[in-house]
């Protein structure tokens, strides 16, 4: 100890410095609490330095929901030095995401989001401004608009048929099917092929592994995001892992982009444009409002991979699990599919408008299990909400899990009842962010831009699994929630399976080029 002290030339002993630092931190913390809590919503007791971090137990949406039972539906929390507001009812969601949407236009930034979004070059975490508005319009008009989603339907059809064929092969060998693995492979392949239709099998497999690691990193608690003194220290090793995964993802995307550029130089043309094709064309347009860089393109595609793969897979799995646990609902859906589609062909996305019970079941599954349980925003200026003053740069958590179960708007809110969307006061509700008691995709400016795609690809996958197979389940499927950025099931869904259609419709997976 003496050698350390003399080397650093400190006038006091380290124990005294430690005590002094802790005392000063406590004083500053208490002063900060007193100064900033006068007009804030209610709050649980906090600890020095860490604030309310000790109250967060996974799954986070349930921990926040429990706090609202004691402190009310609107409360404030401190995570280290960061101020956070939690809203947990449909009325509060409307207040923040509609009435004050123009104030909560940014997303809070983390070390992981900055790394994987190429700082501000991505779209999902880009600050509100000209670039974000340009990319939002591009998403709605071209990238994820209804026309592009329809044009890329052959890609999704082929990947869905490929999954069904894989399940049939296992059923014929009397193997139990790991549906979790089959479904995540499906959604990853769909996203990869829609983004880069030229991707080969090894690239698709690598993308699947990298997406898994990105989701794990983004969903991890990182001390650097909350405790100022820890910034730059990488105490958990997350920083090194981020750099490694980001470098691998960057090489993958760069290779795909260069391959497309080489095809163009050689004069090769394909009938169908994928999303990278569209982005490269926009980047080459000298008259475009915003000149896209390679980092912009790669940032957007990385957003698409990470947001579209796990969330879609989780929703498919939750919906199937709920239907299996509710045999009456499962039978109603099968009867509808047999009546509308028949047994001689596979259900397709074009059938969806004629399947009201399927749409009701999907709405109910997404109400109970929104893939992103918490909608994150950040205020750009001070605002008063419900009589409370919310400072600038405050993080907003709208707990969609709680909002979608608001007892003011839902009878038996925790029960799976698709019929509630077919009759009664909730029959006409939609998931597109206008009905604030039903927000599986969020709402407002920062609502999910991939909603149109999700509402095509996800329901048809559920419908195909119900149409094509019987699931031999003894008892109930476990519904415990897992830990992570996306609210997925805690355990993989592994079930014995029996093909239901005899003979089985053709499952040719080469219907696009």
Binding residues for heme, by number, are 448
How far CA 258 is from CA of 68, 261, 276, 300, in Å, comes to: 51, 5, 11, 17
- What's the CA gap between 189 and 155, in Å, rounded? 9
3-state DSSP assignment of residue 383: strand
Q: Phi, psi at residue 373, to the nearest 5°?
A: -75, -20
CA angle 327, 332, 334 (to 5 degrees): 90
Q: Are 166 and 182 in contact (CB under 8 A)?
A: yes
Reported as half-sphere exposure (CB side, CA atoms, 13 A), residue 320 has a value of: 30
d(CA 65, CA 73): 8
CA atoms within 13 A on the CB side of 56: 16
Provide the 3-class DSSP secondary structure of residue 228.
helix
**In this structure, are residues 243 and 116 in contact, taking their beta carbons and an 8 Å threshold?**
no
For 130, the token pair is 């000209």
CB atoms within 10 A of CB 509: 16
Structure tokens at 499: 């093909």
Distance separating alpha carbons of residues 276 and 269, to the nearest angstrom: 14
H-only helix segments in 144-287: 146-151, 153-172, 179-195, 201-218, 238-265, 275-284
Side-chain-side CA neighbours of residue 479 (13 Å): 18
Return binding residues.
Answer: 448
Rounded to whole angstroms, how far apart are CA atoms 198 and 90?
A: 43
């Amino acid at each position: 100890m003496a050698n350390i002290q003399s080397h650093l030339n400190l006038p006091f002993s380290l124990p005294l410095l430690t005590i002094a630092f802790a005392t000063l931190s406590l004083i500053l913390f208490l002063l900060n609490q007193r100064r900033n809590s006068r007009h804030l919503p209610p709050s649980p007791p906090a600890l020095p330095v860490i604030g309310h971090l000790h109250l967060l137990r996974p799954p986070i949406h349930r921990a926040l929901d429990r706090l609202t039972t004691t402190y009310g539906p609107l409360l404030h929390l401190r995570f280290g030095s960061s101020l956070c507001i939690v809203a947990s009812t449909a009325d509060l969601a409307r207040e923040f995401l509609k009435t004050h949407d123009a104030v909560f236009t940014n997303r809070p930034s983390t070390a992981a989001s900055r790394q994987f979004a190429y700082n501000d070059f991505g779209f999902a975490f880009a600050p509100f401004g000209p670039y974000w508005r340009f990319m939002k319009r591009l998403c709605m008009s071209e990238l994820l608009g209804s026309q592009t989603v329809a044009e890329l339907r052959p890609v999704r059809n082929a990947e869905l048929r490929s999954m069904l064929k894989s399940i049939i092969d296992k059923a014929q060998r009397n193997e139990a099917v790991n549906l979790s693995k089959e479904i995540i492979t499906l959604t990853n392949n769909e996203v990869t092929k829609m983004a880069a239709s030229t991707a080969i099998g090894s690239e698709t497999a690598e993308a699947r592994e990298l997406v898994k690691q990105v989701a794990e990193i983004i969903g991890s608690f990182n001390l650097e995001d909350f405790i100022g003194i820890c910034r730059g220290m990488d105490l958990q090793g997350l920083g090194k892992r981020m750099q490694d995964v980001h470098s691998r993802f960057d090489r993958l995307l760069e290779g795909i982009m260069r391959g497309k550029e080489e095809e163009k130089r050689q004069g090769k043309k394909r009938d169908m444009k994928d999303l990278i094709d569209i982005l490269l064309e926009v980047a080459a347009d000298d008259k475009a409002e915003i000149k896209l860089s390679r980092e912009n393109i790669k940032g957007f595609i990385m957003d698409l991979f990470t947001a579209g793969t796990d969330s879609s897979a989780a929703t498919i799995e939750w919906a199937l699990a709920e239907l299996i646990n509710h045999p009456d609902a499962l039978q109603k859906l099968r009867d509808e599919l047999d009546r509308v589609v028949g047994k001689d062909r596979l259900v397709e996305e074009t059938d969806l408008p004629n399947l009201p019970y399927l749409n009701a079941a999907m709405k109910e599954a997404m109400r109970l299990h929104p893939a992103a349980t918490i909608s994150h925003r950040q205020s750009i200026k001070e605002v008063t909400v419900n009589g409370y003053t919310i400072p600038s740069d405050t993080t907003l958590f709208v707990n969609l899990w709680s909002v979608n179960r608001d007892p003011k708007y839902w009878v038996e809110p925790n029960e799976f009842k698709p019929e509630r969307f077919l009759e009664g006061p909730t029959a006409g509700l939609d998931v597109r962010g206008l009905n604030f008691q039903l927000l599986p995709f969020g709402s407002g400016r920062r609502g999910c831009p991939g909603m149109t795609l999700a509402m095509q690809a996800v329901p048809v996958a559920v419908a195909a699994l119900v149409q094509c197979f019987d699931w031999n389940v003894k008892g109930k499927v476990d519904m415990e929630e897992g830990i992570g950025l996306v609210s997925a099931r805690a355990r993989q869904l592994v079930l014995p399976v029996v093909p239901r259609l005899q003979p089985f419709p053709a499952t040719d997976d080469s219907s696009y080029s």
